[in-house]
Every structure is written in C-alpha cells, then in structure tokens.
C-alpha cells in the first residue's frame, strides 16, 4: 500500500509542477479520492483493532492531530522566510469579517479550508462563488496551502469515524449517504446545476469514498458479522454512484494491504506520501524565491529532500511519542494491524 500511496502523492505533485513522459499520471482529483478510500480503510481498521472502545476516542483524536498538523505547520513555516505568508495574511486582513475569521481559523486549524473554494469577497461582503466555475472567484486565493483542502475533508471524517467505524451498519449508512448524494447529483439534478455548483467539493459527496474504504475493511476482517444482502446492495449503490473503478480499487485494498503490511520499505514509501503531498507547493514556492532555476528536476529534488527531512526529523519522533501514548492508554493492537501505516 505504501508504494501506491507515494505514487498517488507523486501524481498530484507532477500535476502541479509539470508532467514527465516516463511517469504515468492521471487526474489529480481522482488520486485524492483514492486517498480517501485508503483513509477509510486504515481508520476503520485502527478503530476496530487498536482504539476499540469509546474510552479511547480521545487518544484517537490526539493521534490524528499529531499525524497531520505538525507537517502541515511545517508547510506554512516554509512560506514565512520567502514573504508569502506575510503577503497572504495582509490580504486576509482586508477580507470581510466573517470571511476573514474563516480564513484564519481554516488555514491554521485545517478545519474549513474546503469552505473557501465556495466563497469569494466582493464589495466588502462574502458571497457564494464556486472555484473553477465563477471566473471572479477569489476565495481559494486565501488558502495558504491549496492541497490542504483535502485535509479538511479528512478532519471531518476523523470527527465522525469513532461513532461510525466500529459498527458495520453505521459504516454502510455512512457510505450510503455519500452514494445517494452522488446519485442525486449525477442522475437527478438538472445539468444546469453543474454550471453553478462544485458539488464534488462538498463533504457529503466525498463521504462515499471514505465509506468504500470502510466497507473494504469489513468485508476482509469482519466477514462473520456482515449482513451480506445489505453489503451487496450498499456496495452496488456506491459503485453505481462513484464509478465502478473506485469500487474495484476499494475491493482490492485489503488484499494489497495483506501483501505489503510486513514490508519496511513499503512502509517507508507510504510514510513519505503525506509530506510529499502537503509540502509540494510551499517547497516549490521556496525554490522560485531562492533564485534556483525553477526546473522540474529542481522542484522534484527539493520536494523529495524536504519530505525526507521532515519524515525523519519530525514525523518519526512524533510517531514514537504516539506509540508510547497508545501503550499507556490503549491495549496494544494485534501484530497484523500494527503494521498499518498511519494515513
């Protein structure tokens, strides 16, 4: 799984800095949705095999915060010495009050970053305006690190996960909400709606991808307690709504995980995926500001070098702290699940 996760992060990277003939890429949005499937699988596994009871929810939330925010904070820190942070904060300070508060809270907490792609500032007011549709949209300009919009979706999933992931029927219902939302947008709503709304950037829409990952865990690890008629119906609806290729990927996730869970190399590659994804645009901005020739190779080397540094200097020590925290508060996870890299 780690190699695939790194490949997906590189797909997003090359979609931003420029593609190369020898590296096959596809739509970066698709890569992000596959990340959501993987996240649904891993988080459900963790909540069923490591954080098994509601008493461990607080430890789960702290672990998720420590997994994401420190590296995200590094991505923001990179923007400080090159002047990007000061310029962005100056622009944010000039926004209407509600949008200014949203931009501050979202950019520094990761919660609500996705909302900025649905609004703009005009004539001293915050107005509805969709990124990629409205030519006058400017809300996304106030996102300090654009790829982090997906982290906001992840955070919303983490909030709900402890109340959903430990129960098969709740997982099925969670997936169904997303699948039905997608079905409504794809097959019921007027085509004119697509020219006005970015429904694909709404949390209820992406719930289907997290849900597919959750169901993938249940079909592999909890077969004895699955009501197969409900599972088949839910999986078919999700596949019909999201696309059969997403359903096929979700179905293969448990088997790929089983093949790679004991590989240290694969875990290293998987651990590298998150910093590559989060640091890519800030590092690219730093390369341009440094005076180094902004070639694709220089961008790539800078992103990979910075990501490796962050992984070993920051993320690995934090992971050791998280492990100590789990041992102190939660009964250790079985060996199979303990090999799972954090998403």
User: Is residue 238 located within the same domain as residue 123?
Assistant: no
- pLDDT tens-digit series, residues 60-84: 999 999 999 999 999 999 999 999 9
For the CA atoms of the chain, what is the radius of gyration?
20
Q: How far apart are CA 319 and CA 314, in angstroms?
A: 9
Q: What is the pTM of this model?
A: 0.89
How many structural domains are present in the chain? 2
- pLDDT tens-digit series, residues 154-183: 999 999 999 999 999 999 999 999 988 888
Going from the C-alpha of 219 to that of each of 144, 172, 265, the distances in angstroms are: 39, 11, 27
Q: Residue 110: which region, alpha, beta or left (left: phi > 0; alpha: psi -120 to 50)?
A: left
Q: Point out the domain boundary residue: 95, 116, 144.
A: 144
User: Is residue 180 located within the same domain as residue 261?
Assistant: yes
User: Is residue 287 located within the same domain as residue 264?
Assistant: yes
Q: Point out the domain boundary residue: 107, 127, 144.
A: 144
| CB-CB contact of 209 with 150 (8 Å) | no
Tell me the residue range of the domain where 102 lies: 84-144
143 SS3 class: coil
Cβ atoms within 10 A of the Cβ of 28, count? 16
Q: How far apart are CA 145 and CA 122, in angstroms?
A: 22
User: Is residue 55 located within the same domain as residue 95?
Assistant: no
Q: Point out the domain boundary residue: 96, 125, 144.
A: 144
Strand partners, 127: 120
Residue 343 lies inside a defined structural domain of this protein? no
- pLDDT tens-digit series, residues 265-319: 999 999 999 999 999 999 999 999 998 888 999 999 999 999 999 999 999 999 9
Question: 153-175: string of b/e by CB count within 10 Å (b at 16+)?
Answer: bbbbbbeebbebbbebeebbebb
């Amino acid at each position: 799984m780690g190699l695939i996760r790194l490949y997906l992060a590189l797909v997003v990277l090359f979609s931003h800095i420029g593609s190369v003939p020898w590296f096959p890429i596809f739509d970066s949005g698709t890569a992000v949705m596959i990340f959501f499937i993987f996240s649904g699988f891993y988080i459900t596994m963790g909540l069923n095999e490591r954080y098994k009871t509601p008493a461990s929810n607080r430890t789960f939330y702290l672990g998720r915060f420590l997994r994401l925010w420190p590296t995200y904070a590094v991505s923001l820190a990179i923007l400080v010495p090159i002047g990007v942070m000061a310029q962005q904060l100056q622009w944010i300070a000039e926004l209407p009050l509600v949008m200014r508060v949203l931009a501050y809270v979202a950019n520094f907490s990761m919660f609500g970053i996705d909302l900025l792609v649905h609004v703009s500032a005009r004539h001293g007011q915050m107005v509805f305006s969709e990124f990629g549709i409205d030519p006058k949209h400017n809300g996304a300009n106030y996102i300090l690190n654009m790829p982090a919009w997906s982290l906001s979706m992840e955070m919303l999933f983490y909030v709900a996960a402890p109340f959903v992931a430990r129960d098969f029927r709740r997982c099925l219902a969670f997936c169904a909400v997303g699948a039905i939302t997608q079905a409504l947008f794809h097959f019921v709503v007027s085509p004119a709606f697509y020219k006005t709304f970015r429904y694909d950037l709404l949390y209820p829409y992406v719930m289907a991808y997290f849900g597919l990952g959750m169901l993938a865990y249940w079909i592999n690890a909890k077969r004895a307690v699955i009501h197969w008629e409900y599972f088949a119906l839910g999986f078919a609806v999700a596949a019909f709504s999201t696309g059969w290729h997403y359903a096929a990927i979700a179905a293969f996730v448990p088997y790929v995980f089983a093949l790679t869970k004991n590989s240290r190399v694969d875990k290293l590659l998987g651990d590298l995926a998150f910093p590559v994804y989060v640091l890519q645009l800030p590092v690219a901005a730093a390369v341009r500001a440094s005076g180094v020739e902004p070639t694709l190779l220089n961008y790539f080397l800078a992103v990979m070098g910075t990501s490796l540094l962050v992984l070993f200097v920051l993320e690995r020590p934090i992971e050791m702290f998280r492990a100590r925290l789990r041992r102190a508060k939660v009964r250790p996870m079985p060996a199979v699940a303990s090999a799972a890299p954090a998403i």
